[in-house]
Amino acid sequence: MSLRSSLPVRPAVVLALLCAFVWSPSALLGEEFVVQNDSIVDFGTAVIVGDFVEGEMAGARLASPCNGTLVAVQILWLEGSPGHGESLENAIHIYDGTSFPTPGTELETLVGPVMTPGYWNEFRYLDEAQVFPLEVPVTEGQEITIALEFFNPTSVGTGGPSIVRDVDGCQDGRNVLGGNLGMGWDWYNFCMLLAGDVAIRMVIDCDGVTGACCRAIGSCVEEQEEEDCQEFGDEWHEGLTCGEITCIPSGACCRMGGCLQLIEQSTCEGPLEGVYAGNGTNCVDSVCVEGACCDIYGDCTEVFEVECGDDFQGPGTTCEPNLCEQPQGACCFGTFCQSGQTEDDCVGAAGEWVGPFTDCGPPNPCEETPDCPWDLSGNGIVDPVDVGIVKQYYGCAVGTGDPVCDQSDLSGNGDVDPVDVGVVKQHYGPCP
């Protein structure tokens, strides 16, 4: 099998169609920069360089302008007369260019590049399927030597395709030739033979300047580029670390008739006399639009979401009609008890509702009980004073000898808790 057929084929991205020696360079992409020695410009002149034989290499020594990554190689490939078609060459070699003309360590190899005449041929991948990108880390000022290894002999005299050079002089230390000039294989300063710089370029994706990024929630992220610190409320501090700054959280401040953005909590609740919607909140999210708020007893109030401790129905909802799910409890029909009834269902069926979250026991709440067990204070009225007593005994050990604790378990569930508060509220008023 020939060498040509055994090489994997790496297609190039062709950048600019040329007419004779006229070309147009590719545009910079984002933070990418094209690094070049040659001075070829739109509608300028370039000279085809030859003649090369199989295995010889020609290249350019280029300096990185920044810390970043080498992500592409560009080679201008021209033909003297049309019709030669694509050329499958041996390889593109990327070397550490610290030394000259002999390069240093090979950093990456692109095998089997396909060169299309009349174009800047750009190579960004290591494989034919274009899955593995070309990524060579570089530092500012680092010298890189990029050389094309030929497979096909070039013949300038017959109009064949090859690499090109500019016409305004050859920069010493910037152009290399690898081959046998009658003295054995070696690397040479190509300016001994050229009157211009070889049109081989590299594309560097430069790292951006980093800094600390303060989030609106008060957190800090290290080593962020400015474009990555753009969420709502973010503040970028160029060149600083999180240890050198203080990130103060902010959020939406709800005031009568409006909403203020990115306000610190102390300012919102102090001088502005507003309601703070929480760290990182945004007025665009309608956090300062009141809505219906449901508590566990089915009562509804219209407040901001941050003020709703239970179930918020959404910005702009109202309590008319009441959207809140009503609690269930025991319903008495004489001494018969039915569990799982809402107050409306129980009263509508001519029953007597025991209260929210109650059940039929035992003990049966529909059997005779003291005349007014809900009047824990003994003042003859079931009122907030009795609610206060229940709350005072939250979590006490029922059945261990404290009579007030036992009496406070009005639901009979064996625990003094908010359910018993609901029972008291259901019986507000004078004792019978």
In contact, 64 and 142? CB cutoff 8 Å: yes
Q: What is the pLDDT of residues 303-350, one digit of tens each?
A: 999 999 779 999 999 999 998 999 999 999 988 999 999 999 999 999
For 63-76, give one letter per residue: b (16+ CB within 10 A) or e: bbebebbbbbbbbb
Q: Degrees (nearest 5) of the Cα angle 89, 90, 96? A: 115
For the segment 182-209, the average pLDDT, to the nearest whole number, is 90
User: Could you tell me whether strands 258-263 and 251-255 are parallel, antiparallel, or unpaired per DSSP bridges?
Assistant: antiparallel
Average the pLDDT over each of 69-83, 231-245, 255-269, 369-383 and give the range with the smallest value.
369-383
List, in order, residues 6 or more apart from 82 with CB less than 8 Å away.
Answer: none
Pick left, alpha or beta for residue 255 (phi over 0 → left; psi -120 to 50 → alpha; otherwise beta).
beta
* Domain range list for the chain: 3-206, 210-244, 251-283, 370-430
Of 216, 364, 210, the closest CA to residue 279 belongs to 216
In contact, 73 and 122? CB cutoff 8 Å: yes
Q: Check residue 316 and give its pLDDT.
A: 92
Backbone angles phi, psi at 113, to 5 degrees: -70, 140
Q: Domain 370-430 - what CATH class?
A: mainly alpha
Band of pLDDT at residue 13, cut at 50, 70 and 90 = very low
Distance from first CA to last CA of the chain, Å, rounded? 110
Mean of all residue pLDDT scores within the chain: 87
Whether 379 shows a pLDDT value over 90: the answer reads no
Amino acid at 39: S
Q: What is the pLDDT of residues 92-147, one digit of tens each?
A: 999 999 999 999 999 999 999 999 999 999 999 998 888 999 999 999 999 999 99
Q: Check residue 432 and give its pLDDT.
A: 72
Pick left, alpha or beta for residue 421 (phi over 0 → left; psi -120 to 50 → alpha; otherwise beta).
alpha
- Token pair listed for 124: 């960004």
